[in-house]
Structure 1
């Protein structure tokens, strides 16, 4: 059996519109507090050593700021990402629309990466515009929300979704996640810390579930899988 003293490496990348609080989210996770003076400086990497079983995991979180545009092939070069956290601003639902571009690019270059949807600034009052809604196919092309069982949504954390002021928001978001095979949804706050730990805990747990039998293998270049270029 592998010893917990062995350290494996898992890479996670955060993508989304600029200026929505991605850097603050990572700082809150890594340090347990908010850094009000933090200023994004481009491509930042934050590491956190986690004492898990069957091996220790070095979680490397890539915060892409200065190069944070879909189509920019210089973002991570040859680094590998197990998961991508698709971030949007809960106070401006329009930032969710840009997530589609990231999904399409990630799926075309790194189809094995696990996707998580993360709403930021949960502590603020969200806008309530009737015309703003997550992108979704027409009702004839998508899975009806009424036909989705709780078991099918076991990764869809209802308790983490707190901004459902507008009728149809929850159903539209659920359709969106089913369409793009998103594994988890969280609404977070770097100010209060709401759901920040839970988000990264699930990502690490999923990594262990998939790769615990490979904890003794260097995963910095696992046959090119999940390489975000």
Structure 2
């Protein structure tokens, strides 16, 4: 079974729950006392699909403006990004476009996934919801991204989010390999046709290349 690596970055405003999201995914744990991330932290987990293992190398980045220049360093070579916002804080959702723009300015080929966090809070108390699900889905559609609403406390939709990333990347990587092979085959075919073309001047012959 082949193994491929996929770099994933978690982005979003401070206190939206990026670290809790990653802790739940990696260790199945939740804590209300998570400390703010400084610069960035790294962890990895393997997702086994039918014919390939995808190692998701996840970078949890700081959302604070003071660490912005450092956080942007982690965007390099990222193939997936989870842009998080708090379902109980509209301002974090309004910043989503900013995070996407900043990311794609550094890494154009990175696929974005929107993640509304703290779903358990709005399930228990619907009045706390400040981000309408339909509107968030429409934004995701406009930006050609996927949208998940998650709860780090209950674990809801966290496994599906990361498994979707692994599946998408495995397909992307497979298509990329096929594309490179097709390009190489095309070059070989073209070179073969070029060498056999009677109009092409052979080595040592005089005259113009194309008669």
| TM-score (norm. length: structure 2) | 0.71
C-alpha change, 1:129 and 1:121, in structure 2 (3 Å) is closer
Find the partner of 2:25 among 26, 29, 35.
29
Aligned to 2:141, which of 178, 201, 209? 178
Alignment correspondent of 2:165? 203
Indicate yes or no: 2:156 matched with 1:189. Answer: no
Q: Of the two structures, which has the highest relative contact order with CA contacts closer than 8 Å and spacing of 6 or more? A: 1
Matched residues, number: 173
Q: CA deviation at 1:127?
A: 6.7
TM-score w.r.t. structure 1 length? 0.66
Per the alignment, in what secondary structure is the counterpart of residue 59 of structure 2? strand
CA distance in 2 between partners of 1:53 and 1:129 (Å): 40
Aligned partner of 1:7 in structure 2 is 3
Please state whether the residue corresponding to 1:73 is helix, strand or coil.
helix
Q: Name stretches of at least 5 consecutive residues in structure 2 with no aligned partner.
A: 178-211
State which structure, 1 or 2, has the greater radius of gyration over its C-alpha atoms: 2
User: How far is the alpha carbon of 1:105 from its aligned partner?
Assistant: 1.4
Shift of 1:50: 2.7
Alpha-carbon shift at residue 170 of structure 1 (Å): 4.2
Q: Given that residues 50 and 58 in structure 1 are in contact (C-alpha distance below 8 angstroms), is that contact kept between their aligned partners in structure 2?
A: yes
Instruction: Please give the secondary structure, in 1, of the residue aligned with 2:161.
Output: helix
Q: 1:123–1:80: structure 2 CA closer, same or farther, 3 Å change rule?
A: same
SS for the counterpart of 1:87 is strand
| Post-superposition offset of 1:94 | 1.9
Q: Structure 1 unaligned segments of length 5 or more: list them.
A: 134-168, 216-229
Cα 1:174–1:70, aligned 2, differ >3 Å: closer, same or farther?
farther
Q: Does 1:91 align with 2:54?
A: no
